[in-house]
Amino acid sequence: MKLSVWAHQRGICYQTAWRMWKTGKLPVPACQLPSGTIVVDDVPAAGGVGLYARVSTVAEKDRLDRQMRRLEVYAASMGWSVVDKAAEIASVTNENRRGLQKLLKNRQIRTIVVETPDRISPSGIGYLDLALQSDSRRIITLDDRFSTKDDEESLEEILDMYCARLYGKKGSSAKAKAVIAYMREKGEDLGREEKPEADEEEIVF
């Protein structure tokens, strides 16, 4: 679909969507035709979505909850239908992660959304994503869609889109900033901290 149509469906102005595409922050694949028209590949919105969150140790369980909330906000902002989600505590080298296996085996899930590639594999998701694409499935990572180094700014962009869908474009930015301010006041960790990998008890939601 055209970028203008995609922007209208999500309650954001075309100029904002164009700037997101121009700076590499558009949360869906897109390309520019020779005519100049920007076309958005919005396939994930048409299929079921699975959300996957992982941390390495039990001590990081609070970060696991926040990681999943970021994924939920992102999926909601895109209007995607979440079929299933999994959050687990396990080493990235553990090949028997039941939560990830559950999402991969679910044929209703056409897109798996994770925060960063290392939530799935220490070497990235390239080969796994290629294998899934051969079956018209894919993996989307938030750090691919929001390339800024400032995690708080990325979260604010996601919240801005979500607020625009709920309340309209007018005032959505102010509402997003208010949510960020509230989270900061409550001591929420808006960034991502990496801890040494360690095998711990596995918890699957």
Superfamily (CATH H level) for 46-145: Resolvase, N-terminal catalytic domain (3.40.50.1390)
Q: Is the pTM of this model over 0.85?
A: no
Q: Which amino acid is at 86?
A: A
52: left (phi over 0), alpha (psi -120 to 50) or beta: beta
For the chain, the structural domain boundaries read 3-41, 46-145, 151-185
Average pLDDT taken over every residue of the chain: 77
pLDDT tens for each residue of 142-152: 764 544 334 55
168 contacts 11 by C-beta, under 8 angstroms: yes
CB neighbour class for 49 (10 Å; exposed up to 12, middle 13-18, buried from 19): buried
Place of tokens 């609070």: 62
Secondary structure (3-state) at 164: helix
The helix/strand/coil state of 11 is coil
Phi then psi for residue 143, to 5 deg, are: -70, -20
CA of residue 29 relative to chain centroid, distance: 13
Kindly state the percentage of the chain with pLDDT values over 70.
75
Highest mean pLDDT among 127-141, 146-160, 166-180: 127-141
